[in-house]
C-alpha cells in the first residue's frame, strides 16, 4: 500500500491539509482504508472492508458487484447517508468521516445528487415541486427556486410536463424528474443506485443516454449496478467483491475535462 494511505497517525491539521490538497487536485471522492462493520449477535459482518478509492471531478464511474458484495453500503458511505466504522472519507476536500449527523446532512444536500431505483418522488407534488425540494432545504428564495427547478427540468427535456404529478408521468419521465431533482443543487457528484432497475430496456437506454449527456456537460457520475451492460456506459468500472475492491478497470479513456 502506498505510504499516503497510512492515515491513522495524522494530526487534525495534517488531515485538513490533505483535504485541501485533494481539492486542488480535483479529487471529489477519496476514501482511505474505509470499513463498515455490522455486529449481528456474536458475528461481525464487514460489509465494506478496507476500501481505498479515488474519483476525480468529471469522471463517470460504475460500481459493480454481485448481490451482498457491499455496493449499497459503500454508496451510502460515499453519499453521507451513513458513517464508516473506520477509515477516512473526503468529499470535495472535506473530511466527511469525522462529521456529526447535522453536518453530514448539510454536506449531503450541497454536494450530492441522489438517484434511486424507484425514483422516490413525492406522489402529491408536481414535477416542478419535486425538483424544488432540495432548494427549499438549502434555503433558496422562492422565485429563484422556481427558475432553477425549471432550468433543471429543461435539461432533462421535461419542461412541458412540469405540472404533472408522478402518476401522470411515464416511468422514464419519473426518473428524469428524479434526475432533475438531483441536478438542481449543482452537486459535486451524481450518485445513482440501479437507476434503470425499475425500467424496461428501451426506457433504461434513454436514461443511460441522458447520463452520457450529463457527463459530457461536466457532471461527475457514480453509478451502482449489477448489470454489465449498464456498467459499460461508464468510463471506469470498480468491481466490488466481499466488501473489497477486486478490480479497478478503465474501460475507455476519460472525456477531457471542460475548461
Ligand atoms: N444494516 C445491516 N445490518 C447487518 N448487515 C447488513 C446491513 N446492511 C447490509 N448488511 C450486510 O452487508 C453486506 C453488504 O450489503 P449491501 O446491501 O451493501 O450489498 P449490495 O452489494 O448492495 O447487494 P445488492 O446487489 O443485493 O443490493 C451483506 O452481506 C448484507 O447482508
Ligand atoms: Mg444494494
Q: Which residues contact 5 (CB under 8 A, 6 or more apart)?
A: 32, 33, 52
pLDDT for residue 8: 66
DSSP 194: S
Higher per-residue confidence, 3 vs 215: 215
How confident is the model over 168-181, as a mean pLDDT? Answer: 95
In this predicted structure, the answer to whether residue 258 has a pLDDT above a threshold of 70 is: no
Tell me the pLDDT band of 7, cut-offs 50, 70 and 90: low
φ, ψ of residue 55 to 5 degrees: the values are: -130, 130
DSSP 161: G
Tell me the pLDDT band of 253, cut-offs 50, 70 and 90: confident
Rounded Cα–Cα distance for residues 30 and 53 (Å)? 6
Ligand 1 atom at minimum distance from 224 CA: 22
Task: For ligand 1, pick from 35, 72, 79, 82 the residue to mutate: most ligand atoms within 8 Å of CB.
Answer: 72
pLDDT for residue 259: 52
Rounded Cα–Cα distance for residues 63 and 239 (Å)? 6
Tell me the pLDDT band of 138, cut-offs 50, 70 and 90: confident
**What mean pLDDT, rounded, does the chain reach?**
92
pLDDT for residue 3: 46
CB of 244 sitting under 6 A from ligand 1:
no
From the CB of residue 209, how many other CB atoms can be counted at a distance below 10 Å? 11
In this predicted structure, the answer to whether residue 84 has a pLDDT above a threshold of 90 is: yes
Whether the Cβ atoms of residue 122 and residue 130 lie closer than 8 Å to each other: yes
CB of 71 sitting under 6 A from ligand 1:
yes
Whether the Cβ atoms of residue 50 and residue 246 lie closer than 8 Å to each other: no
CB of 45 sitting under 6 A from ligand 1:
yes
Rounded Cα–Cα distance for residues 32 and 86 (Å)? 9
| Domain ranges within the chain, ordered by starting residue | 3-250
In this predicted structure, the answer to whether residue 9 has a pLDDT above a threshold of 90 is: no
Whether the Cβ atoms of residue 169 and residue 180 lie closer than 8 Å to each other: no
**In this predicted model, what pLDDT tens digit does every residue of 190-238 receive, in sequence order?**
999 999 988 999 999 999 999 999 999 999 999 999 999 999 999 999 9
Task: For ligand 1, pick from 36, 73, 117 the residue to mutate: most ligand atoms within 8 Å of CB.
Answer: 73
How confident is the model over 173-191, as a mean pLDDT? Answer: 94
CB of 65 sitting under 6 A from ligand 1:
yes
pLDDT for residue 195: 93
In this predicted structure, the answer to whether residue 1 has a pLDDT above a threshold of 50 is: no
Rounded Cα–Cα distance for residues 235 and 67 (Å)? 22
Residue nearest to atom 24 of ligand 1 (CA): 67
Sequence-ordered alpha helix ranges (H) in the chain: 12-24, 71-78, 101-111, 127-137, 142-155, 171-183, 201-216, 228-231
How confident is the model over 27-35, as a mean pLDDT? Answer: 97
Ligand 1 atom at minimum distance from 226 CA: 25
Q: Which residue has the cell 477516512?
A: 88
In this predicted structure, the answer to whether residue 131 has a pLDDT above a threshold of 60 is: yes
Q: Which ligand is nearest to the CA of 66?
A: 1
CB of 85 sitting under 6 A from ligand 1:
no
Q: Sign (positive/negative) of CA torsion 139, 122, 77, 102?
A: positive
Closest CA to 21 of 95, 79, 112: 95
In this predicted structure, the answer to whether residue 180 has a pLDDT above a threshold of 70 is: yes
CB of 239 sitting under 6 A from ligand 1:
no
CATH architecture, range 3-250: 3-Layer(aba) Sandwich (3.40)
CB of 51 sitting under 6 A from ligand 1:
no
Length of the chain, in residues: 259
Q: Which residue has the cell 425500467?
A: 199
How far CA 51 is from CA of 100, 148, 177, 228, 255, in Å, comes to 22, 36, 32, 21, 25
Amino acid at each position: 500500500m502506498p505510504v499516503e494511505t497510512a492515515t491513522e497517525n495524522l494530526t487534525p491539521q495534517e488531515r485538513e491539509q490533505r483535504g485541501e490538497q485533494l481539492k486542488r487536485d480535483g479529487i471529489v471522492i477519496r476514501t482511505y482504508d474505509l470499513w463498515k462493520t455490522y455486529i449481528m449477535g456474536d458475528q461481525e459482518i464487514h460489509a465494506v472492508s478496507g476500501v481505498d478509492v479515488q474519483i476525480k471531478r468529471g469522471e463517470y464511474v460504475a460500481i459493480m458487484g454481485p448481490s451482498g458484495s457491499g455496493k449499497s453500503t459503500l454508496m451510502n458511505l460515499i453519499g453521507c447517508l451513513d458513517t464508516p466504522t473506520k477509515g477516512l472519507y473526503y468529499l470535495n476536500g472535506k473530511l466527511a468521516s469525522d462529521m456529526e449527523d447535522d453536518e453530514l446532512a448539510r454536506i449531503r444536500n450541497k454536494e450530492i445528487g441522489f438517484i434511486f431505483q424507484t425514483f422516490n418522488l413525492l406522489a402529491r407534488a408536481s414535477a416542478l415541486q419535486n425538483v424544488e425540494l432540495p432548494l427549499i432545504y438549502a434555503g433558496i428564495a422562492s422565485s429563484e427556486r422556481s427558475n432553477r427547478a425549471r432550468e433543471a427540468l429543461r435539461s432533462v427535456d421535461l419542461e412541458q410536463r412540469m405540472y404533472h404529478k408522478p402518476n401522470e408521468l411515464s416511468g422514464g419521465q419519473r426518473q428524469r424528474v428524479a434526475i432533475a431533482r438531483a441536478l438542481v443543487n449543482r452537486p459535486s457528484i451524481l450518485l445513482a443506485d440501479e437507476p434503470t432497475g425499475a425500467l424496461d430496456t428501451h426506457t433504461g437506454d434513454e436514461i443511460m443516454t441522458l447520463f452520457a449527456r450529463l457527463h459530457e456537460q461536466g457532471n461527475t457520475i457514480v453509478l451502482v449496478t449489477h448489470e454489465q451492460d449498464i456498467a459499460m456506459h461508464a468510463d471506469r468500472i470498480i468491481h466490488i467483491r466481499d466488501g473489497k475492491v477486486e478490480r479497478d478497470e478503465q474501460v475507455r479513456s476519460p472525456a477531457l475535462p471542460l475548461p
